[in-house]
């Protein structure tokens, strides 16, 4: 789609350049460059996410942000699940001297539901 956009935009710019309006091609090139930059910025964060899983006796939290993966493991019997500052804030998982915030990709009003589900999963099994 981006290549199609580039082709159309630069094609129009070349047409007007041939007609004597040289600035149109310059602005078309600028437009293509800015849209390309916007796609790169979007692509950098398109795969961002959080994964919380129970693996045996451990709670594993993996956060991916801009291609950087952060993995934290807690022993499930020592994990505390609390809101960071209020009911609609991020959820803080802490234990054994480490802590991590989760819930960035959950609507604020559903974060308490997520916290309850994590607590329930930690109690079971």
E-assigned strand segments in 22-77:
49-55, 58-65, 68-75
pLDDT at 39 over 70: yes
Instruction: Please state the φ and ψ torsions of residue 56, each to the nearest 5 degrees.
Output: 65, -125
> What whole-number distance in Å separates Cα of residue 92 and Cα of residue 61?
11
For the chain, the 3-state helix, strand and coil shares in percent, each to the nearest 5, are 50, 30, 20
Same domain, 103 and 86: yes
> What whole-number distance in Å separates Cα of residue 88 and Cα of residue 106?
10
Same domain, 53 and 35: no
pTM over 0.75: no
Same domain, 117 and 66: yes
Same domain, 78 and 93: yes
- Predicted pLDDT of residue 125: 59
What burial class does residue 20 get, using C-beta atoms within 10 Å of its C-beta: 0-12 exposed, 13-18 middle, 19+ buried? exposed
Average pLDDT, the chain: 92
Number of separate domains in the chain: 2
* pLDDT tens, position by position, 74-114: 999 999 999 877 767 899 999 999 999 999 999 999 999 99
Question: Residues near 58 by Cβ (< 8 Å), separated by ≥ 6?
Answer: 73, 74, 75, 76
Domain limits for position 32:
2-45
């Amino acid at each position: 789609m981006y290549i199609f956009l580039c082709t159309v935009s630069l094609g129009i710019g070349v047409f007007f350049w041939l007609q004597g309006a040289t600035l149109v091609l310059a602005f078309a090139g600028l437009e293509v460059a800015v849209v390309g930059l916007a796609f790169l910025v979007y692509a950098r964060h398109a795969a961002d996410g959080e994964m919380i899983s129970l693996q045996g006796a451990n709670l594993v939290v993996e956060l991916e942000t801009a291609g950087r993966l952060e993995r934290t493991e807690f022993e499930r019997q020592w994990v505390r699940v609390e809101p960071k500052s209020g009911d609609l804030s991020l959820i803080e998982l802490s234990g054994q001297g480490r802590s991590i915030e989760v819930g960035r990709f959950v609507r604020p009003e559903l974060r308490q539901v997520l916290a309850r589900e994590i607590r329930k999963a930690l109690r079971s099994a």
